[in-house]
Amino acid sequence: MKPSAPFHRAALLLVATLLLPLAACSSDDDSSKSTDGRSSNTSEAGGTFDAAECDGTAESPDVRFVVDACGRVVMLRGVNVESSSKGTTQEGDHLPASGLQGQAALSNWGWNSVRFLVFWGAIEPEKDKFNEAYLDKVEEWLDWYADNDIHVVLDMHQDLYAWKVGFDGAPDWAVDSKGVEKGPRDENAPWYLAGTDPAVQNAFQSFWNPEPGQADLQSEWLDALAHLAERFADHPAVIGYDVMNEPSFANGDLEATLAIQAQAAAGEFQNPNLTQFMQRGIEAVRRHDQDSWVMIEPTSLLNAFPYPGDLVFEDLKDTRDGPPRLSYAGHLYEPSVHDGGGYAPSSTYVDEWEKYRSEEAARMQGVLWFGEWGGAPDQSRMTEFITEVTSMADRQMAGWAWWSWDPGGWSPVKEDGTTLSSNGEALLRVQPRAIAGTPSEFAWAAGDKVFTMDWTGRDDAHGPTELAVPARLFDKGIRVVLDGEEITDLGWDRDRSVLAVSPETTTGTHTICLEPTNGNKCR
């Protein structure tokens, strides 16, 4: 049925907002995952640090934190790599066009993680035939990340379901648009508006709400995810799996979605279909990997408003032995910033996002992590936006992954792949990478360039506490006060922008303050 004109306009408006952001050291049974070369031989308080102690057996001190194989709390901070992998058809290598060597730039800023895009259609281009050659290539990237102490979340990416209906994700064989071909795309309109295309709508409904006789595509997706986990469960770089990027329309098609807006805004809409799929996603990963985190996204509608979450949070259960390792991975896209319209001083988006998403992460006993956030550098108050979001992330002790690496555009780097863009300048900050204990709070004051953090040491966390301290922020050097004493012999690797500190005693409470070398704020 062709939508009537007013419906179409309403639908476009809705989709404009609703399709907008929706949105370690991982451990494993395998001891190959247990150490990172950097930590070995480091002297740990109370004795010599033995890297063999990083056997991945330490549990997180709190469901809100990820830990590495050394038991250190890892604050995942990094970037999505990368949009260029999507390509325009199922064919192609589906690897980042910017190339592996370009990744050195991000490891030089002390960033510790990436969200790496992979695609069902690349993993399983033919039904039931996994493409190991593609996964071998992905593994080359993972090896590089492991060698450079960067944790990877593998993101089962899709945008508007599949290449066959205009974007990316599902293999051609898994697209059932019920006989409707994709319509022409208006290249001048934001990409997500193509979600109104009946072919996209039908393909989504075939996936989420199959009619009798239609294939069970959700199980097929989850089998591909399980295969990914089987391939990389023992890989030292892999810390997590994002079950599905930006799921939308699990509750029903556009019309059904329009009909529940008031309910959703009032926090009265729950999405059992999506919740069940995400629960099955947890179980698919756990078929092969007991130790990685499973990243779960709400309906992408929530990235844009934001509304209260639609998942039935209390129903999501990790099936591993031991405390849950789940992450709540909604995206953070302020609608105007996403579309390049600037960050209005009156915007309440970041505050609302913080309120809803932090409560929801707690309800599902998960780590709060913004799997995507970003915007173009050349818009008003973009630096303020970045500062507010990163400060909020610090306040919540949450992780984030910037969208996206792809040099140029929104990237932290310009087209040359190394020169910082203004986004990159704003994103460079002092932040924790790995904490040999449990953090209670930390904050970065960008104006004064002062970083402070309090934590409590733990016997089951090994290796030094590491901070990202970008060398280019401190051309004259740094001054560091640890537990009230100025550190004279700084373990600061300027090339990698990593500062390693080890308090005299492992346990007990600790406090660190870092500032420019001539500063006087740290005591």
> Residues interacting with ligand IDC, by CB under 6 A?
20-21, 23, 83, 86, 159, 167, 191, 245-246, 331, 333, 372, 403
Minimum distance of ligand IDC from residue 115's CB (angstroms):
10
**What does the DSSP assignment read for 452-518?**
EEEEEE-TT--S-EEEE--GGG-TT-EEEEETTEE-SS-EEETTTTEEEE--SSSSEEEEEEEEETT
Q: Which one, 27 or 113, has the nearer CB to ligand IDC?
A: 113
Q: Which one, 36 or 334, has the nearer CB to ligand IDC?
A: 334
469 neighbors 512 (Cβ within 8 angstroms): no
In this structure, how many other beta carbons lie within 10 angstroms of the beta carbon of residue 452? 18
Q: How many alpha carbons lie under 13 Å from residue 196 in its C-beta half-sphere? A: 25
Minimum distance of ligand IDC from residue 194's CB (angstroms):
9
Q: Which one, 293 or 410, has the nearer CB to ligand IDC?
A: 410
Minimum distance of ligand IDC from residue 15's CB (angstroms):
12
Minimum distance of ligand IDC from residue 120's CB (angstroms):
14
Minimum distance of ligand IDC from residue 373's CB (angstroms):
9
Q: Which one, 60 or 245, has the nearer CB to ligand IDC?
A: 245
Minimum distance of ligand IDC from residue 78's CB (angstroms):
16
Minimum distance of ligand IDC from residue 20's CB (angstroms):
6
Q: Which one, 141 or 410, has the nearer CB to ligand IDC?
A: 410
Report the SS3 class of residue 28: coil
Residues forming beta bridges with residue 450, ordered by sequence position: 445
CA-wise closest residue to 471 among 492, 490, 443: 492
420 neighbors 377 (Cβ within 8 angstroms): no
Question: What residue is closest to ligand IDC based on CB?
Answer: 21
Q: Which one, 329 or 478, has the nearer CB to ligand IDC?
A: 329
Q: Which one, 68 or 310, has the nearer CB to ligand IDC?
A: 310
Task: Kindly tell me the number of DSSP H helices and DSSP E strands found in the chain.
Answer: 14, 21
C-alpha to C-alpha distance for 156 and 242, rounded to whole angstroms: 6
106 neighbors 144 (Cβ within 8 angstroms): no
C-alpha Rg value of the chain to the nearest Å: 22
Minimum distance of ligand IDC from residue 177's CB (angstroms):
18
Cis peptide before 255 (omega within 30 of 0): no
Q: Which one, 300 or 438, has the nearer CB to ligand IDC?
A: 300
**What does the DSSP assignment read for 337-392?**
HHTTS---TT--HHHHHHHHHHHHHHHTT-EEEEEEE---SSSTTHHHHHHHHHHH
